[in-house]
Structure 1
Amino acid sequence: MSALIDPRLALAMVAALALLVALFCWPRRGLWARWQRARRFSERVYREDALKHIHKAEAKGRRPTLESIAGAVGVGLDEAARLVGALSADGLLEDRAGTPALTLQGHEVAVHIIRAHRLWERYLAEETGYDEEEWHGQAERREHDLTPAELEALAARLGHPTHDPHGDPIPRADGHLLPHGGQLLSTLPLDQPARIVHLEDEPEAIYAQLVAEGLYPGQMVRVAAVGPERVHFWTNGDEHVLAPILAGNIFVRPLPTEEVEHTAAGRPLTALKLGESGRVVALAAGLRGQERRRLLDLGLLPGTVVTAELRSPGGDPTAYRIRGATIALRAEQARLIRVTNDERRVTS
């Protein structure tokens, strides 16, 4: 005679089996379905990152290799070789004298990803409070999610910008690019006024050092000396000394005389001594997004008179009188506000 199974145990076993089926096999929501989707998404990200890397290499006249693809995507050489084979089989890559090259279809996919990345960086800079060092990483994660229709809506919201916050050209939907037209900072003739038009944001460690130096597109610079170990230049009244590997990520465009005269108007707000007043003439391009809107809301518009009233014991921040209110500004903010002298002074 076979042993009878406890009804409660049988019920528990059926419930457990049903739960396992639901978790692993349920269409669209089960763990198996989710794992499959995650796997497909990862594969698509790898493919798109590989195409983006090859596009950038071709644009710079460089030869993409399995090693460079593996490094850009973050996989081993065997996986990079598999990716190149799969992309070739799908008509996105072709072999040109032993070098993987984009086909027309592959070029379109790469342009879409680059456009998504740079538009999203522009969005983060103009519409959010993310720190500058976070823009690239955030855009890297978001670029694979945006559809062409969403990109068009984002571009329209931002006013169809031609360049991202670093000065990289944003491709149009048809793939057309408007180059920044800059040259390496180290190739600029000594004491030739120029404007920063592009900061290379890769590798991220080098870009973070440029941000820490307070550099941004739109600044006027003058090179004082170029040597094998150091590049000396001036911007915003400050001297900067960078190693060539850092300066090699800065691109500039020489300025005509009339533009130099217009740009040179005023001095940084930080130059005001206590009790001294200045009249706002401009906010630098380095002030973006919520921080720029906050300063505009405080009344820091061209023509506004600002007076330096009080400086903290440590020297930073400084309290300024602006339209009848006292506002504390950090030196890194005040340095991006240009003022001219105002005859009025505070009397005690």
Structure 2
Amino acid sequence: MNPALINLLVFAGVVIAIWLAYRFFSSRNPLESRINQQKTITEDILKQLYHVEQSKSSANLDNLAGALQLSRRKIYPVIETMTGSGLINLHDNQIELTEEGRQYALKIIRIHRLWEKYLAERTGHKASEWHHLAEKMEHKISEEEAQKLESFLGNPMFDPHGDPIPSESGEMNKVKWVPLPSFEMNQPCKITHIEDEPGVIYQQILENKLFVGSHVMLLQKDNNEVSFVCEGEEHRFSTIVAANIHVEALSEDEIFEENAVRLSALQYGETAEVIGLSKECRGANRRRLLDLGILPGTKVEVDLKSPLQDPVAYRVRNTSIALRNTLADLILINKS
């Protein structure tokens, strides 16, 4: 056979093979994408229904679509599939979880909260980023991977916001916290949970340097506003914002440090003694401060301030150490 003809046939065969491969993968990728999208919507619906159930409210197609920011046209086929697979029940336009759907929802919540714990303990991501990043990962991690992550984190019982993490079997620790406006006035308590939704309220709480574990005392309250003191600073919040902060009474072995302030509040000429580190101080930051000798009872004073007042050099154990204000905010002191 003519060599030129052979080369032409080989070339044509390669072109056809490439074309067939392209058709195969281009047809498969949209299918995989559609399957993943359906899975994500299904799991988002289950999680939302679980939260509705816990708030003792009810859900229908319209408010569910609104909460998930999806159109009825997009959500309705998924609802039909979920009904057929036994994850949900429909009663007079009300949508409810079955026991199977509830257990599935708890698996997604478990992964979400474990991933938030991982982001808080093992990465440098800001608190305002944890929820959004965890919402992406909750649809990608398998149960086996979640079990490994839980073990890696030391089997935590609560996420960084204070929410209990479901066990592998779907069990959760019961919580005793109440919204801050509902707590007794002039009685010391501690923040045990900060709701991270809606994001605009959560961001406002973060900007006021309020963390899980912080000791607070409610000073005044009415239907519109509450005022309270936290680590040496007085705050005024609307009751709507304050209701996103949950507290509980101090345990018998916890002492309310009435004069406690953050290290960042220390001025030239003042001396102080370290009370301890905020629970919000985690991972590498916590290890660094402990390695630097920031321990209860340590004497500290301002050594030097930069022109922009950040960072600040502090004299600790005859050594000058520079700390950003964001890190100094996590060190609690008593001024001498």
* TM-score, normalised by the number of residues in structure 1: 0.87
- Which residue of structure 2 aligns with residue 211 of structure 1? 206
Deviations 1:94-132 (A, max 9, x none): 124542111121111101000000011011101111111
Deviations 1:219-275 (A, max 9, x none): 11112222343222211111112222211211111336x556355475432343324
Closer/same/farther in 2, CA of residues 279 and 216 from structure 1, 3 Å limit: same
CA contact (8 A) 2:271 2:300 kept: yes
Moved more, 188-197 or 272-281: 272-281
CA contact (8 A) 1:201 1:207 kept: yes
Aligned-partner Cα distance in 1 for 2:256–2:188 = 12
Q: Determine if the alignment matches structure 1 residue 294 to structure 2 residue 288.
A: yes
Closer/same/farther in 2, CA of residues 73 and 121 from structure 1, 3 Å limit: same
Identity %, equivalent residues: 36
| DSSP-derived class of the 1:261 partner | coil
User: What pairs with 1:334-345 in structure 2 (closer than 5 Å)?
Assistant: 334-340=328-334
- Which residue of structure 1 aligns with residue 219 of structure 2? 224
CA contact (8 A) 2:231 2:259 kept: no
Moved more, 113-122 or 78-87: 78-87
Aligned-partner Cα distance in 2 for 1:267–1:50 = 43
Residue of structure 1 aligned with 2:323, choices 315, 322, 329 = 329
Q: Determine if the alignment matches structure 1 residue 281 to structure 2 residue 275.
A: yes
Give the superposition deviation at 1:84: 1.6
Q: Determine if the alignment matches structure 1 residue 21 to structure 2 residue 14.
A: no
Give the superposition deviation at 1:163: 0.9
Residue of structure 2 aligned with 1:165, choices 157, 160, 163 = 160
Give the superposition deviation at 1:176: 1.1
| DSSP-derived class of the 1:214 partner | coil
Q: Determine if the alignment matches structure 1 residue 120 to structure 2 residue 115.
A: yes
Give the superposition deviation at 1:74: 3.1
CA contact (8 A) 1:162 1:169 kept: yes
| DSSP-derived class of the 2:90 partner | strand
Give the superposition deviation at 1:59: 1.3
Q: Which residue identity does 1:332 align to in structure 2?
A: T
Q: Determine if the alignment matches structure 1 residue 320 to structure 2 residue 320.
A: no
Closer/same/farther in 2, CA of residues 214 and 67 from structure 1, 3 Å limit: farther
| DSSP-derived class of the 2:333 partner | strand
Give the superposition deviation at 1:145: 1.5
Closer/same/farther in 2, CA of residues 340 and 248 from structure 1, 3 Å limit: closer
CA contact (8 A) 1:129 1:289 kept: no
Moved more, 129-138 or 153-162: 153-162
- Which residue of structure 2 aligns with residue 34 of structure 1? 29
Closer/same/farther in 2, CA of residues 187 and 262 from structure 1, 3 Å limit: closer
Any gaps of 5 or more consecutive residues in structure 2? none
Give the superposition deviation at 1:14: 5.9
Give the superposition deviation at 1:17: 4.2
Q: Which residue identity does 2:90 align to in structure 1?
A: D
| DSSP-derived class of the 2:146 partner | helix
Give the superposition deviation at 1:63: 0.8
Closer/same/farther in 2, CA of residues 213 and 273 from structure 1, 3 Å limit: closer
* TM-score, normalised by the number of residues in structure 2: 0.89
Q: Determine if the alignment matches structure 1 residue 270 to structure 2 residue 264.
A: yes
Q: Determine if the alignment matches structure 1 residue 58 to structure 2 residue 57.
A: no
CA contact (8 A) 1:49 1:72 kept: no
Closer/same/farther in 2, CA of residues 261 and 173 from structure 1, 3 Å limit: same
Give the superposition deviation at 1:292: 2.2
- Which residue of structure 2 aligns with residue 239 of structure 1? 234
- Which residue of structure 2 aligns with residue 143 of structure 1? 138
Aligned-partner Cα distance in 2 for 1:34–1:295 = 49
How many corresponding residue pairs? Answer: 332
Q: Which residue identity does 2:22 align to in structure 1?
A: L
Aligned-partner Cα distance in 1 for 2:107–2:254 = 37
